[in-house]
Amino acid sequence: MKTPLFIVLLGPPGAGKGTQAKRLAQALGLVHISTGDLFREHLKNETVLGQLAQSFMSKGELVPDDVTIKMVEERLAQPDCEQGAVLDGFPRTPAQAESLQDLLSQFGVGVKVAPLIAVPDDVLVERLSGRWMSTSGRVYHALYNPPAVKWIDDVDGSELYQRDDDKPETVRHRIEVYREQTAPLIDYFLKKGLLVEIDGTQAIDCVTENLMKAVKEA
Ligand code: ADP
Ligand code: AMP
């Protein structure tokens, strides 16, 4: 059996983690685990966890660590994670990073590489204000990654929507939360020798190419 491969994509909201995580997961034959998508799925299914998460997500705050870690633990226990995963939006706090290390020890591995997709704040606001989502998780942008038909998902024809937390005032708060609570992880992964900074302002294909290179060289 191949050694499982776990990749952590770091970066502020709007950096392109979701866009790139899907591409990497497909190219490497791994699952894509987005904690934001998992919370949104719970919300859609009207679970207790979904309602709890929504009270934090709508304000641009982080969902408490214990709840988030338990959800990831359950996800990683599923058989499709045996070969590894591309983690997107997790860990987001030092406590989550420590828990991830514990969780991965059951696979006999640690995080292989933690690319940081770096994008300046003004670009993030522009990206998130033009982000169009499909209910199946695909991500478009009004200008930079438009669907063939405006507001319609290319793959399943469903109507696209804008996330409530992509409103400019919530976006600004999410960026602050990132700087305060998540940015310390840059140093955490740097000290472990796992951080690779990638210029996230380049075109989507170019960012994918650089990420694939970082993974291959890890
Ligand atoms: P994150 O998951 O980090 O919040 P997304 O992958 O959802 O970010 O990307 C945010 C928005 O920016 C989306 O609308 C996406 O289509 C767009 N986007 C992603 N990468 C790029 C890029 N390299 N150049 C321009 N737009 C991008
Ligand atoms: P995202 O889809 O990654 O932008 O996440 C959307 C929202 O979900 C965040 O603003 C948080 O409220 C919540 N969330 C996602 N991942 C985490 C996490 N690892 N820890 C805490 N909250 C999270």
Q: Pick the atom of ligand 1 nearest to 145's CA.
A: 16
| Binding site residue list | 14-19, 35, 40, 61-63, 89-92, 96, 131, 139-140, 163, 174, 202
Is the pTM of the predicted complex or chain greater than 0.85? yes
Q: Which domains does the chain have, with CATH numbers?
A: 5-119+182-217 (3.40.50.300)
Does residue 131 carry a catalytic annotation?
Answer: yes
Peptide bond into 168 cis (omega under 30): no
Q: What is the mean pLDDT of residues 60-84?
A: 97
Q: How far apart are CA 156 and CA 88, in angstroms?
A: 23
Indicate which residue of 22, 23, 131, 138 is catalytic.
131
Q: What is the pLDDT of residue 184?
A: 97
Ligand minimally distant from the alpha carbon of residue 129? 1
**What is the model's pLDDT at position 137?**
85
Q: Which of 190, 149, 153 is nearest to 10 (CA)?
A: 190
Output the residue whose Cα is nearest ligand 1's atom 6. Answer: 16
Identify the active-site residue in 17, 22, 23, 138: 17
Instruction: Read off the pLDDT of each residue in 193-204 and give the average, rounded to a whole number.
Output: 98
Q: Are 49 and 42 in contact (CB under 8 A)?
A: yes
87 alpha carbon, closest ligand: 2
Residue 2 pLDDT: 86
pLDDT per position as a tens digit, 112-157: 999 999 999 999 999 999 999 998 889 999 999 999 999 999 999 9
